[in-house]
């Protein structure tokens, strides 16, 4: 009887060993999960690197074409002392006296306003045979364009276009091929020449329209 009871205790001991082995094997499970967690975090890091902007995505600056007047240019009224007219000119442009008037210049663009005495209202023919003929004789590479009569807020005016070389830059000596618009206004024996010039190819249609339509008699 004693011998048989000893044999019965042997499986119980083995069972205890098996339970201990299972417990130690179960503890290895979390170690594997920990390794999987570190693997997933390492795979997430390349995505964060890919999300960072590349140098090629940086915006590039744009330069305006030569002679283009900025869209945010401000215009202010100008009326010389004792004059019978007013016109808007670009604010901040350099002012200089010219024959019978004044000019406003910035970089390659110029607005010139001149007032003369004239007994009769100008026509297309008198402008073509007078001021434009004088410009062709005194200017450089002058090419005359169309001459027409237009109606503006100030009334009727003669409008002419032509091309000419600018005066040489005093520093660089560079000469610019200009596109020029001339408006001739007249009232009660007073004639005003409004000249708008800038480099050929510059898109200054809107600024020149602001100036020409702002002209008014006082």
Which pLDDT value is given to residue 75? 98
Determine the average pLDDT of the residues in 155-177.
93
Least confident of 49-53, 82-86, 155-159, 184-188: 49-53
Residues 88 and 177 in one domain: yes
User: Total domain count for the chain?
Assistant: 2
Residues 92 and 6 in one domain: no
Determine the average pLDDT of the residues in 42-54.
42
- In which residue are the tokens 């009224």 written? 77
Determine the average pLDDT of the residues in 9-18.
39
Q: Which two tokens stand for residue 75?
A: 């215009």
Residues 115 and 47 in one domain: no
Residues 14 and 108 in one domain: no
Q: Residues near 86 by Cβ (< 8 Å), separated by ≥ 6?
A: 77, 78, 79, 214, 215, 216, 218
Residues 197 and 90 in one domain: yes
HEC readout, the chain: CHHHHHHHHHHHHHHHHHHHHHHHHHHHHHHHHHHHHHHHHHHHHHHHHHHCCCHHHCCCCCCCCCCCCCCCCCEEEECCCCCCEEEEEECCCEEEEECCEEEEEECCEEEEEEEEECCCCCCHHHHHHCHHHHHHHHCCCCEEEEEEEEEECCEEEEEEEEEEECCCCCCCCCCCEEEEEEEEEEECCEEEEEEEEEECCCCCHHHHHHHHHHCEEC
Residues 88 and 178 in one domain: yes
pLDDT for residue 205 is more than 70? yes
Q: Is 204 exposed, middle or buried (0-12, 13-18, 19+ CB in 10 A)?
A: buried
Residues 33 and 86 in one domain: no
Which pLDDT value is given to residue 65? 56
Classify residue 68: in a domain, yes or no. no
Average pLDDT, the chain: 79
Determine the average pLDDT of the residues in 151-165.
98
Residues 103 and 175 in one domain: yes
CATH code of the domain containing 99: 3.40.1000.10
Q: What distances in angstroms separate CA 122 from CA 132, 134, 158, 201, one per listed residue?
A: 12, 15, 7, 29
pTM: 0.70
Residues 43 and 92 in one domain: no
- The domain of 98 spans 75-217
């Amino acid at each position: 009887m004693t011998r048989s009871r000893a044999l019965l205790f042997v499986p119980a001991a083995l069972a205890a060993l098996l339970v201990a082995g299972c417990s130690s094997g179960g503890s290895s499970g979390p170690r594997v999960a920990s390794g999987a967690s570190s693997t997933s975090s390492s795979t997430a890091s390349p995505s964060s690197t890919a999300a960072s902007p590349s140098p090629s995505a940086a915006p590039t600056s744009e330069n305006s074409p030569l002679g283009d007047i900025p869209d945010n240019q401000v215009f202010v009224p100008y009326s010389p002392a004792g004059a019978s007219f007013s016109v808007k000119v670009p604010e901040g442009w350099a002012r200089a006296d010219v024959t019978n008037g004044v000019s406003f210049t910035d970089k390659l663009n110029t607005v010139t306003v001149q007032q003369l005495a004239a007994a009769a209202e100008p026509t297309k023919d008198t402008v073509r045979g007078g001021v434009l003929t004088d410009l062709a004789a005194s200017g450089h590479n002058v090419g005359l364009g169309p001459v027409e009569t237009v109606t503006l807020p100030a009334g009727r005016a003669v409008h002419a276009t032509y091309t000419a070389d600018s005066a040489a830059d005093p520093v660089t000596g560079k000469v610019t091929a200009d596109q020029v618009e001339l408006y001739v206004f007249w009232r009660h024996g007073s004639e005003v020449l409004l000249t708008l010039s800038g480099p050929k190819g510059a898109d200054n249609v809107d600024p020149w329209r602001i100036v020409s339509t702002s002209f008014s008699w006082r």
